[in-house]
Structure 1
Amino acid sequence: MGTQGAGDGVSRRTVLTGVGGAGTAVVLGGGAAARPAWAADKGVAKLPLPDRTELTVLLTGDAGTGGDGQWAVADAARAVCARRGVDLAIGLGDNIYENGPESDTDEEFRTKFERPNAGLDVPWLMVLGNHDTSGVIPGSGGMPSRGDHEVAYHAHSARWYMPDRHYRVAVPGGAAEPVAEFFALDTTPLSSYVLQTDPEYHWDGAFARRQRAWLRESLASSRARWKFVFAHHPLRNNGTHRNAGEYEGITCGDYLSGKHVKELYEEVVVGRAEFLLSGHDHTLQILDTGAACQGTQQIVCGASAKTKGRADKPTNKAFWEAYDTLGFMLLTINARQVVVDAYTVDPGTGACAHAYSHIRTDRVPSRAPEPAAS
């Protein structure tokens, strides 16, 4: 095993505090694998989405280094999934370190996604992270347009699912009341480490407004038994990146603090989805639902290639946490319950252990229909 990095190198708070102060809703349904026209043109047939009422979902985040840590977690996940089975995978951003791909045919897709995940042959629902949308400064999130390469890669890969920067997937796809629905978001323009220069991606720009309206309508219209919102940035987090609204210990400004991520989650997601799945912090956390979160439970799973550490004064109650180990999670979902199993992977030896199991049976409280947006 090679030596794993303990974080992101030089503190971005130190370096960047002085610097920073187009999606379409797509519903992907299961069933037999159809060969869409664009896939036929590219020579790629997408792996079919599951068409089951009980499914197992692999959860990874911040994986795309191409290094020993990513391979150790992928090897462990392969072994566990071979025993338990797997129907779907979710990648929680920072898919291509350090700055994201330079084109939709960048070799890094092969070295940092396809090769490590060989054998995990299920659809991978992907979202963008700050390292996927960076320019001169690694991890800055200052070049959102670079994320378009990862959207375009959807047409080149059987595994990689990112048909747009935000999208929804219901399982089973054609069911009147699916057992689960997954809502993918792009939070990177709302919490970059530098000011956004493209008006499309300002914190209150056209993209942010479209995504917010789409998410509100999508959650309201969903008939799924369990709703999962997933994005790179967490709302609550006991790791060193801290909670949204005070990322990196910063509480001012429209970007560094993540205050607009906080607003999006609290005003649109909280009380409307059972789970919020995020990466960004290179840790493993299963937090409680929290009265203030109205039944929306935060899961942080960003230790699939690196480890990070714990905040000096964590503020969130947790069922279980791990800060100095690599790892991944499995979600087992049926109409009765969601089971979250956490697996740790030793950074030095690659040894994998089942660390914790959490069972949830309660849904978010029912809400009155919201008035139509004016």
Structure 2
Amino acid sequence: MGTQGEGTAPSRRTVLAGVGGAGAAAVLGGGVAAQSAYAADSAADGGADKLPIPRKAELTVLLTGDAGTGEDGQWKVADAARAVCERRGVDLAIGLGDNIYENGPESDTDDEFQSKFERPNTGIDVPWLMVLGNHDTSGIIPGSGGWPSRGNHEVAYHAHSARWYMPNRYYAVAVPDGAAEPVAEFFALDTTPLSSYVLQTDPTYYWDGPFAREQRAWLARSLAASRARWKFVFAHHPLRNNGTHRNAGEYEGVTCGDYMSGKHVKELYEEVVVGEAEFILSGHDHTLQILDTGADYRGTQQIVCGAAAKTKGRADEPSNKAFWEAYDTLGFMLLTINAQQVVVDAYTVDPETGESRHAYRHTRTDRLGAIHTR
């Protein structure tokens, strides 16, 4: 495929499965913005001056996920990432959800934006492309994802921060900004309404409700229209995952129901994304994984990067082939992207000492466009 690599309490699953079973309760592309029902208000009236989307054809992207604890682990990873970015340079950052633990912000001016995003990431002054996670959209039960509308506070925060970039619950960003044929395009999704630990009670966010239908239609149109050399779909929940949350369609070992299993996340990825984007970037599992492209996934490769504050173990019976994996360690990744290749550098961060180590380099040179024309 043209890829190469170097170098005793009740479980959360048991508790949340019981709750779920009981039924508890500016789309952007190429620099052109369009309003939607899920977009933030414009920042023009007293809002923050946004850091610009890069206009260069080679870029370095910081990748982190599940970061927003405001605690020691987040600071260790942020400090290590800042040091690497100062040495290597960075043009964009991506936050893969669970930005504000444990339940998400209570307003778009909640001081948790400062303690769990702005202050830890001081000095990494680039646009941070952000997506929502289950902990960003929760109510009584932390991490349930059962209050999707709470995520609108994070969309609205787009207007208050120079770095935080979330103009909508789903959106696209092409680089170079304004280019007819971008080197890369990043498609952000909100997967939590499709994979919450409890049943959704707001019809807007049912798995087959208006939000899910509109997001899916937008994604299909946008991927088909994109002329980018490399396409990245990023969202909190992975399609494939060797960590304890497991694969979409069997999250937490649950294979029934419309929500906890993540079966509709699986459908979205397999029916719309697979074979259309080279990469799916996800968090959710507090691990680091660079999985293979997989013949069954028509060249779409899964990367999991959710160890920016917490650690988590490996599934008892992992089912996906991997180029490289790391468990029980903190870490982050850097993507270096140009017209010829995407290089993924994985860095581990010792949870005790905060020392970082370059752990693995993976290089991909094959593009789906090239595959499809063979």
| TM-score, scaled to structure 2 | 0.92
Aligned to 1:27: 29
**Is the contact between residue 30 and residue 178 of structure 2 (CA under 8 Å) also seen in structure 1?**
no
Equivalent position amino acid for 1:27 in 2: G
Corresponding position: 1:141 with 2:145: yes
Aligned to 2:185: 181
CA distance in structure 1 between the aligned counterparts of 2:30 and 2:139, rounded to whole angstroms: 31
Instruction: Specify which of 106, 109, 118 is matched with residue 122 of structure 2.
Output: 118
Corresponding position: 1:89 with 2:66: no
**Is the contact between residue 42 and residue 159 of structure 2 (CA under 8 Å) also seen in structure 1?**
yes
Equivalent position amino acid for 2:286 in 1: H
CA distance in structure 1 between the aligned counterparts of 2:54 and 2:27, rounded to whole angstroms: 19
Residues 138-164 of structure 1, C-alpha deviations (whole Å, 9 max, x = no match): 000000000000000000000000000
Aligned to 1:75: 79
Equivalent position amino acid for 2:131 in 1: V
CA distance in structure 1 between the aligned counterparts of 2:10 and 2:227, rounded to whole angstroms: 45
Residues 261-319 of structure 1, C-alpha deviations (whole Å, 9 max, x = no match): 00000000000000000000000000000000000000000000000000000000000
CA distance in structure 2 between the aligned counterparts of 1:203 and 1:289, rounded to whole angstroms: 28
| TM-score, scaled to structure 1 | 0.92
**CA-CA distance at 1:56 after TM superposition:** 0.1
Equivalent position amino acid for 1:362 in 2: D
**Is the contact between residue 44 and residue 158 of structure 1 (CA under 8 Å) also seen in structure 2?**
yes
Corresponding position: 1:343 with 2:344: no
Aligned to 1:300: 304
CA distance in structure 1 between the aligned counterparts of 2:10 and 2:106, rounded to whole angstroms: 24
Corresponding position: 1:224 with 2:228: yes
CA distance in structure 1 between the aligned counterparts of 2:258 and 2:14, rounded to whole angstroms: 18
Residues 57-86 of structure 1, C-alpha deviations (whole Å, 9 max, x = no match): 000000000000000000000000000000
Change (3 A) 1:241 1:115: same
**CA-CA distance at 1:29 after TM superposition:** 2.9
RMSD: 1.5
Identity %: 82
**Is the contact between residue 29 and residue 172 of structure 1 (CA under 8 Å) also seen in structure 2?**
no
**CA-CA distance at 1:185 after TM superposition:** 0.1
Change (3 A) 1:339 1:210: same
Aligned to 2:274: 270
**SS of structure 2 residue aligned to 1:131:** helix
CA distance in structure 2 between the aligned counterparts of 1:362 and 1:224, rounded to whole angstroms: 14
CA distance in structure 1 between the aligned counterparts of 2:280 and 2:148, rounded to whole angstroms: 22
CA distance in structure 1 between the aligned counterparts of 2:53 and 2:109, rounded to whole angstroms: 24
Q: Where does structure 1 differ by over 4 angstroms across 4 or more consecutive aligned residues?
A: 365-368
**SS of structure 2 residue aligned to 1:75:** helix
**SS of structure 1 residue aligned to 2:53:** coil
**CA-CA distance at 1:38 after TM superposition:** 4.1
Structure 2 unaligned regions, length at least 5: 1-8, 33-40
Equivalent position amino acid for 1:320 in 2: W
Change (3 A) 1:325 1:10: farther
CA distance in structure 2 between the aligned counterparts of 1:136 and 1:295, rounded to whole angstroms: 40
Aligned to 2:36: none
**Is the contact between residue 294 and residue 365 of structure 1 (CA under 8 Å) also seen in structure 2?**
no
**CA-CA distance at 1:11 after TM superposition:** 2.8
**Is the contact between residue 27 and residue 167 of structure 2 (CA under 8 Å) also seen in structure 1?**
no
Aligned to 1:13: 13
**SS of structure 1 residue aligned to 2:227:** coil
Correspondence list, 1:105-254, <5 A: 105-254=109-258
**CA-CA distance at 1:254 after TM superposition:** 0.3
**CA-CA distance at 1:91 after TM superposition:** 0.1
**Is the contact between residue 51 and residue 162 of structure 2 (CA under 8 Å) also seen in structure 1?**
yes
